[in-house]
Amino acid sequence: MLDLDAILTVIAIWVGVGVAALGAPRNTRFVAHALFPVSAVLSLAITVLALHGVSISPEQRVLPLGLPGLPLHFRIDSLSASFLALIGAVSAGTSVFSAGYVRPGEGTAPGLQCLQYHLFLAAMALVVLADDAYAFMLAWETMALSSYFLVIANHRAAAIRQAGYLYLLLAHIGAIAILLCFGILQASTGDFTFANLRAQTLSPLWGSLAFLLALLGFGAKAGLVPLHVWLPEAHPAAPSPVSALMSGVMLKTAVYALLRITLDLMHLQVWWWGVLLLALGLVTALYGVVFTTVQTDMKRLLAYSSIENVGLVFVGLGLALMFRAYEMPALAALALTAALLHTVAHALFKSLLFLATGTVLHATGERNLGKLGGLIRAMPWVAWLALVGALAASGLPPLAGFVSEWLLLQTFLLTTHLPASFLNMLVPLAAAGVALVAALGAYAMVKFFGVIFLGQPREQKLQHAHDATPLERIGLAWLAALCVGLGLAPIAAIDVIDPVTRMLVGFGLGATVHANGWLVLAPVSLQRASYSPLVFAFAVAAGTLFAVLLVHIVYHARARRAPAWDCGFGQRNARMQDTAEGFGQPIRQIFEPLFRMRRELPSAFDTRPRYRVIVEDHFWHWIYKPVQAMVERAASLAGRVQQGRIAIYLLYSFATLVVMLLLAGR
Amino acid sequence: MIALLTQAINLFAALLLILAFAMITQRRVLNLVHLFTAQGLALAAATLDVGYLTAQPHLYASAAATFLLKVVLLPALLHRLINRLQVRWDVEPLLNAPLTMLLGIVLVVFAFNLATPIAALASSVARSTLGIALASVLLSFLMMITRARAVAQVIAFLSMENSLLFAATAATNGMPMLVELGIALDVLMGFVILGVFLFQIREQFDSLDTRHLERLREE
Amino acid sequence: MNMFASATAELPLTVLLASPFAGALLLALIGHSRIGAAINVLASAVAAGCSLWLAAIIARDGASTAYGELFFVDPLNVFLVALTAFVGFTTSIFSRPYMRIEVEHGRMTAPRMRLYHAMYQLFLAMMLVALTTNSLGVLWVAMEAATLCTVLLVSIYRTPAALEAGWKYFILCGVAVLQALFGTVLLYLAADRVIGSGAGALLWTHLDAVKTELEPTIMSLAFVFLLLGYGTKAGLVPVHHWLPDAHAEGPTPISAVLSGLLLNVAVYAILRCKVLAEGALGNGLPGRAMVAFGLLSVLLAAFLLHRQRDIKRMFAYSSIEHMGLITFAFGLGGPIANFGGLLHMTMHSLTKSAIFFAVGHAAQKAGTQAMDQIRGLLQISPTVGWGLMIGSLAIVGMPPFGVFASEFVILTSAMRQLPWAAPLLLLALAVAFAAIVARVQPMVFGETAAMKRLPHPPALVPVFTHLGLGLALGLYIPPFLISWYMRAASLIGG
Amino acid sequence: MPISPFAFVAQLLQLAVALAAAPLLVGWVNQWRAWLQNKTAPSVLQPYYVLHKLLLKEAVVAENASPLFRVVPYVVFACMALACAIVPALSTDLPLAPAADAIALVGVFALARVFISLAAMDVGTAFGTMGARREMLIGFLAEPALLMSLFCASLISNSTSLTAIVNKVAHSHFQLYPSLAFAGVAFTIVSLAENARVPVDNPATHLELTMVHEALILEYSGRHLALIEWAASLKLFAYSCIGLALFFPYGVADAHAPLAMLVALPALAGKLAIGGLLLALIETVSAKMRIFRVPEFLATAFVLAVIGLLVHGLLEA
């Protein structure tokens, strides 16, 4: 049996599992303990099959479904296989977690959520497998629709409904742009199979138009500025496993699709495409990370951090496109590898962190950072596993986040002379931007972890918060392990990515990396740059051990517990710690112009002084509100036509008649 | 004799057009009914005439039907309606008479221009009347637009139908029997329904001014 | 089965047309009694069965005429016949509990029920005649009759709004139908120069045979009148004004059949005329005119959707939008576009009538059609809520529902034949999407307002039957259906 | 890659020298600062006494401190030791060097910073969180600046591996690099900030309005505090070595001449002595700045380093 068949079968079973949930939609135990574990196993199966599929030659299948003349085509090649593996790996974690997470609550019934969840998984898998425009759009929109229903799972809250609506609307507008893009790619042949799109060659003008449409469509899904506004609304609204999937995997399907279209379907290469992507990516990353640091809602914070990381990924893509256009395959491969590695890394640590917030939410019922704190004592499992995610998200060695950022910076450094002189100026600037983003990311993550898990509990109820359930722990641990694994053995990941880059830009890092041995990661040569996470980790561990032994053997290990020093003030309480606002305040001050802030400052004479600051996004008022107003205006104009008087209606049809007669008479 | 009859058709056609004009300007509802009756009469006569000229017996039947319906039945019903609903005068039309006339003339010219190439092609005895028929159709349309009273609109509607039937007869020597019958049936049904409507509107708004019927709108 | 197999089209056709007529007569007498609704369902069921039987026969031995040449059935109209009869049937099922509830709420009286049932059947009969007849004259007569049947149904509640809607419906469509009549006259005029006068000159089969010899100047005028006449009934902008009023004020089953069926029949009439006109003129003018009307309708309707407060009125505008899309597709012409148009006709009828079913019950539960007073349907009755939600998502073209498939076909063929139009259409679709979802979401989800329990259980089988069919067709169109559509599409040509 | 015994020795020697001499360097700087400020200076060995005393004391740990709090000092110490081990101070033939290049080196410092900030937040006192916030604030600007100034050097040597950089500058014919001037200034500013020196921070005070590093470690005592202080001195040592390696790498032994180590050791001592003197001088002549001036101060460093990159692209590429 072919790989693809097996995968399609597993996907079908996924859907089956979802449908099975309709059997007992309100039976939480059945859904949680029977169905979700099964789907987790299926996810693992998908991962294995996909990892196998990376290296084998492409396979195709045509299902007798869909439109006449355009049945559903599916195809697996190294690109789709690698993304499929990612989907499987992450969803395995989220599914196990969900098994422990699902609770009967108001809003959509567990069974229904289970169905939507599995449709979501299946749709994402089919997106990366689709091999014709119809199948792609079908999967793409189903993905948006199912996730929309999941986002508004708790639909009693008006804010959540608003978020869902905004999300669905932007997704649909994006989908329309994508459809138009396909319309251009088929070059009026009427054949929408990817095979045919591949065969077409476009003029630079039409090609660029198609690229821009694709950028609009997939940018809306990936959350590129200024199309990012739905992310910080939708992610907090959704149940945590869903946020994990959306942020970890769904955003990446946009990356996949953009790669598919620009590097696989289109042969045309224009240098400024890459520059545009690079610039957009940088802006997005900076914008995202700056907003991350000032958030006070833990899931919004993570959502903005997702925007940041997507931005970094697009920086890599931009470089890859640029180098491809300038026929520098080696560099293109390097940039692409960096981008893909970061895609994987972000998928892992971000879903880990979202799941962690889920457990915190269930344990405390709080999303507001200002009311959390000190949870590392109440829920050590979650805390320590989340710490792994947070360190990885801060891009610290030897964890997952660091490798990709390291490779990205290497790409900048190894950039040789580019034809356009201003690009040679742009590249270092971009490198500086990336460095700044990475550093700020660490700031945000310290805030995230420190305010939630460290310090003293800011509320009484946090004292007796319960730790994650065993199944939840498994889910978290799985993702944490993957974070560490990817960080320690990037070469294994590069082996998976190698065929992808060879397929897309005609060059792969695999050979050079292996030339320098399994221990050291050297993308070009040992003399140019090298990094060995294993040795690194070992050295740090050894150093720690050495220090422990030194101190304890040469001296002693006596320690005494005492109350923390209160500087002689006498009454030290949790309110004296930095709040989330306080922790973000310096950044807010430094990057003030980026925000739209409303402050409520207490006057000196307030009996009960309170300070409040609301940080908003400029783009609402720059783009979205005006567009909305425009549509309303157009609607009211159109309304004039229909103003109730029958004589006027008759006049319309009379006038139409006369005009048509005039036209026909000639 | 034949020639005379042939010219007679044109005469009826002219009559029809004049009546249409008269209706546009007429503001007394009762007179409208009279004019409408006259129109029906002219139509019936024309149908009879064409039937005789082209020796198509089924046109006699249709002429008879027209006479019964348009000259006897509908006017009678209209009279009863007007008496029951107490509408003697139409309210001020949305467009004053001279302007309406002017528009009407423009329409006539337009219709003639439109019809001449077709008339040249028509094989019927009364080809030249097509333009007139078209003109009176447009005129009745105009009347429907300008009149504010439901009854007036109804009469305009009916006269529009008259001129259409005339066009059918004159230009094509009559439609197939089945169609003619169907049309007659529809007209009858339509009129009955109109009557019902007028009463319903009257009892709902105790007036037949269509200005009351402007609630459903998008503004 | 043998008897069925050997039968010609005549037998099923006879039963098909006879059953609604008989039903109408019977119901005119006892339509108000308790069994009235049952008879209504029965008659429609018979019609539906016969339509399928007829379809099977046509699918086997192709187009055929019946009763001399009075009736003519080919793949194009038999598919519409089947659709009409089917939706008529499901609607009658829906109307049974719905109208009972209306009676309970005191909005319907016995005589009105009698009128309603009789007219419902007569309306069905007239549409079936209009579809199956071979004579364009009879087609006109049937269309006029269908209009007259529904006028009184639209104003049946006798509220001021209902009367206004009925009056506008009557006057506007009446004028339109007269224009269509004039067009038919001109057509006849053009025909008898070629075929010679007499009944034969209006028979589609004959006209189709000689369409290239028809006089262009006359045909162009004729097509103008026919397009405007039947176009008004199809609700094309700028002659659509009757449509939202009539849909919003009439009883919901009538809104369902008006939107799901009458509009289709009107488009069908336009199609028949377009084939002749294109044949005679040789240039693509008729097609281009339809494209223009279609585009205008889609755009205007999409924006008007943003101003709606009444739920049925909103979906009426969505009907205008979709009719525009269909007209656009047929205007494009070519096998693929026509295929898309036919597919969209099917999907729209199924989906839109399903939506109206759900909307009807939703409005009954809330006791109003004002959208800002309908809230949290899921809390009070999940089935109605999900029906409305899924239906709305289907109608705005969300996959995996059928509307998406047909829209995909139409848009792609537009991209090939008329590239500049595709962005406009997509813009309109996006605007419509925003409007409809924004209004449906709070009605379905969220906190529930106080809603009344219904005295009778709502009929939700039709809703989910339709939506299920739409879903199935969106994923998989069975081959025989495809070949059927294809043959129909080739008949339209263009 | 086969590790030559010489390389192994070199590695061990450099690590040992760093661990041993780091406090001495601090003592040396403090002594000179005192002298320059006309104070009687403490002995140059003072840091050793302090370490010994702290290690003898028992550690007092806050009641609500989590295990994280107690692990951190060891981790930080390990990070700094690793940093000292990979910076080519004595020889460019270091087995550990390939494990972490310039970027990874910045990563090590970041790792230490994040851990100590988290530890500071762990107990949940006002000072701890304030210190963590300020430390991260300094870090998020200092880190990219440091990275950029390292990039200038690595662009020149076409490599991010520190040993390669040193080899390029030290063991090839002499050449002047304008971009390195910018990088040098930037690096100086960064190292002042990173090592909690005036004008950014003053290790000698506990004035809550100004203190950063001291606020971070306020809760630590006994052996934990000792390790952190030791780590701090290692950090200073590492930064000095980096500075020397980038801008004055002469005298460092290279792979092919193991005996040059004998020269390298005194060379390093000399260079460090002068460096410490300069540091003391800077600290004496400049005044502590307000905490919100610090970002501007570091932003200058960042901008200078970036300009250095551009200059390189303009003149030297």
**pLDDT digit string, tens, across residues D176-221:** 788 889 999 999 999 999 998 888 888 777 777 778 888 888 899 9
The Cα–Cα gap between D123 and C382 comes to 51
Q: Rounded mean pLDDT of chain D?
A: 89
Cβ distance of B160 and C175 shorter than 8 Å: yes
CB A167 within 8 A of CB A141: no
* A contact residues 624-653, partner C, Cβ 8 Å cutoff: 631-632, 634-639, 641-642, 646, 649-650, 652-653
At C105, the pLDDT band (50, 70, 90 cuts) reads confident
Q: With bands split at pLDDT 50, 70 and 90, how would you rate the model's confidence at C140?
A: very high
Across residues C375-385, what is the average pLDDT?
A: 87
Separation between Cα atoms, residue A414 and residue A412, nearest integer Å: 6
Can you tell me the distance from the alpha carbon of C63 to that of C484, in angstroms, rounded to the nearest whole number?
12
Does residue B21 have a pLDDT over 70? yes
Cβ neighbours of B105 (radius 10 Å): 13
- Residue C221, CB-side half-sphere exposure with 13 Å CA sphere: 25
Chains C and D touch (3+ CB pairs under 8 A): no
Q: Which has the higher per-residue pLDDT, A132 or B56? A: A132
Instruction: Specify the pLDDT at position D256.
Output: 66
Contact by Cβ (8 Å): A251, A220: no
Task: Provide the domain limits for residue A652.
Answer: 622-665
Rounded to 5°, angle at Cα C204 from C202 and C210: 90
Instruction: Identify how many contiguous H helices and E strands chain C contains and give both numbers.
Output: 21, 2
Q: Write out chain A residues lying below 8 Å of C218, CB-based.
A: none
The whole-angstrom distance between residue B213's C-alpha and the CA centroid of its chain comes to 24
pLDDT value of position B177: 76
Give the pLDDT score at B123: 62
Nearest CA in chain D to A548: D74
Interface test with A, best of B109, B137, B197, B218 (most A CBs within 10 A): B218
Q: Inform me whether the pLDDT recorded for C3 exceeds 60.
A: no
pLDDT tens column, B74-86: 899 888 888 887 7
- Is the pLDDT at D1 greater than 60? The verdict is no
Q: Do C161 and B122 touch (CB under 8 A)?
A: no
pLDDT band for position C450 (cuts 50, 70, 90): low
**Which pLDDT does position B90 carry in this prediction?**
61
**How high is the pLDDT of residue C2?**
43
| ipTM entry | 0.91
Q: Is the pLDDT at A398 greater than 70, yes or no?
A: yes
Q: What is the mean pLDDT of residues B51-61?
A: 84
Q: Does the pTM exceed 0.90?
A: yes
What is the mean predicted confidence (pLDDT) over C126-134?
94
pLDDT tens across A282-334, in order? Answer: 999 999 999 999 999 999 999 999 999 999 999 999 999 999 999 999 999 99
The closest alpha carbon to B149, from B70, B94, B216, B69, belongs to B94
Contact by Cβ (8 Å): C54, C74: no
Does residue A530 contact residue A397 with C-beta atoms inside 8 Å?
no
Same domain flag for A525 and A655 = no
* Helix orientation angle between D294-311 and D126-157, rounded to the nearest 10 degrees: 10
Task: Output the pLDDT for position C6.
Answer: 47
Phi, psi of A466 (to 5 degrees): -95, 150
Residue C4 has pLDDT above 50, yes or no: no
Question: CB pairs below 8 Å between A and B: how many?
Answer: 47
Give the per-residue pLDDT at A411: 92
H helices present in A102-200, as ranges? 110-129, 133-151, 158-185, 194-199
pLDDT in tens, C21-37: 999 999 999 888 888 89
Average pLDDT over residues C116-140: 94
User: A65 CB near a chain C CB, below 8 Å?
Assistant: yes
pLDDT tens across A481-533, in order? 999 999 999 999 999 999 999 999 999 888 888 888 888 888 888 888 889 99
Q: How far apart are CA B203 and CA B139, in angstroms?
A: 31
> Which pLDDT tens digit goes with each residue over B171-215?
777 777 777 888 888 888 888 888 888 888 888 877 777 777 788
Distance CA D294, CA C79 (A): 79
- Confirm or reject contact between A152 and chain C (CB < 8 A): yes
With an 8 Å Cβ cutoff, are A644 and B217 in contact?
Answer: yes
- Taking the C-alpha atoms of residue C258 and residue C312, their distance in angstroms, rounded to an integer, is 12
Taking an 8 Å cut-off on Cβ atoms, the answer to whether D66 and A555 are in contact is: no
Number of domains in chain A: 2
The Cα–Cα gap between D28 and D22 comes to: 10
A2 band by pLDDT with thresholds 50, 70 and 90: confident
Amino acid identity, residue A410?
A: Q
Q: Cβ contacts (< 8 Å) between C192 and chain B: which residues?
A: 123, 172-173
pLDDT in tens, A597-654: 888 888 888 888 888 888 888 898 999 999 999 999 999 999 888 888 888 899 999 9
Query: What is the residue extent of each domain of chain C?
Result: 284-494
CA-based nearest residue in chain D for residue A537 = D99
Return d(Cα C479, Cα A68) in angstroms, integer. 8
Averaged over D44-54, what is the pLDDT?
95
- In A, minimum Cα distance to C399 occurs at A138
Per-residue pLDDT, C458: 83
Q: If you write DSSP's letter for every residue of chain B in order, what string do you get?
A: -HHHHHHHHHHHHHHHHHHHHHHHH--BHHHHHHHHHHHHHHHHHHHHHHHHHHT-HHHHHHHHHHIIIIIIIHHHHHHHHHHHHT--BPPPPSS-HHHHHHHHHHHHHHHHHHHHHHHHH--STTTTHHHHHHHHHHHHHHHHHH--BHHHHHHHHHHHHHHHHHHHHHHHS---HHHHHHHHHHHHHHHHHHHHHHHHHHHHHSS-BGGG-------
**Per-residue confidence band for A1, with pLDDT thresholds at 50, 70 and 90:** low
pLDDT score recorded for residue D235: 96
Both tokens assigned to D87: 């910076």
Could you tell me which chain C residue has the CA closest to the CA of B204?
Answer: C160
Q: In percent, how much of chain C has pLDDT > 90?
A: 62
User: What are the φ/ψ torsions at residue D312 (nearest 5 degrees)?
Assistant: -60, -45
**Of B113, B148, B219, Cβ closest to residue A643:** B219
Polymer length of chain B: 219
Nearest chain B Cα to C145, which residue? B186
Q: Which of residues 636-665 of A touch B (CB under 8 A)?
A: 636, 638-647, 650-651, 654, 657-658, 661, 665
Residue positions counted in chain C: 494
Tokens, residue D233: 């001195």
A90-131 confidence digits (pLDDT tens): 999 999 999 999 888 777 889 999 999 999 999 999 999 999
Rg (CA), chain A: 27
Number of Cβ within 10 Å of residue A168's Cβ equals 27
User: Rounded CA gap, C301 and A634, in Å?
Assistant: 11
Inform me whether the C-beta atom of residue C28 falls under 8 Å from chain B C-beta atoms. Answer: no
Structure tokens at A528: 């140019």
Per-residue model confidence (pLDDT) at position A571: 77
Mean pLDDT check: name the lowest of A104-108, A260-264, C443-447, D165-169. Answer: A104-108
CA separation for the pair A497, A500 (Å, rounded) = 5
Q: Do A664 and C176 touch (CB under 8 A)?
A: no
Residue B137 forms contact with C (CB below 8 Å) = yes
Tokens of A11: 């996907």
Confidence of residue A232 (pLDDT cuts 50, 70, 90): very high
Does pLDDT of C5 surpass 50?
A: no
Asked if the peptide bond before residue C400 counts as cis, ω within 30 degrees of 0, the response is: yes
Cβ proximity of A192 and A70 under 8 Å: yes
Q: Answer whether B9 touches C (CB < 8 Å).
A: no
DSSP-derived secondary structure for A193-247: BHHHHHH----HHHHHHHHHHHHHHHHHHHT-TTS-THHHHHHHHS-HHHHHHII
Cβ pair A161:C441 closer than 8 A:
yes
A-D Cβ pairs (cutoff 8 Å, strict): 261
Touching chains, C (3+ CB pairs < 8 A): A, B
CB A461: neighbour CB atoms within 10 A?
12
Asked if A352 and A497 sit in the same domain, the reply is yes
Contacts of C185 in chain B (CB under 8 A): 164, 167-168, 171-172, 175
What pLDDT, in 10s, does the model give residues A405-464? 999 999 998 887 788 778 888 888 899 999 999 999 999 999 999 999 999 898 888 888
Contact between chains at A646 and C171 (C-beta distance less than 8 A): yes
Share of chain A above pLDDT 90, in %: 68
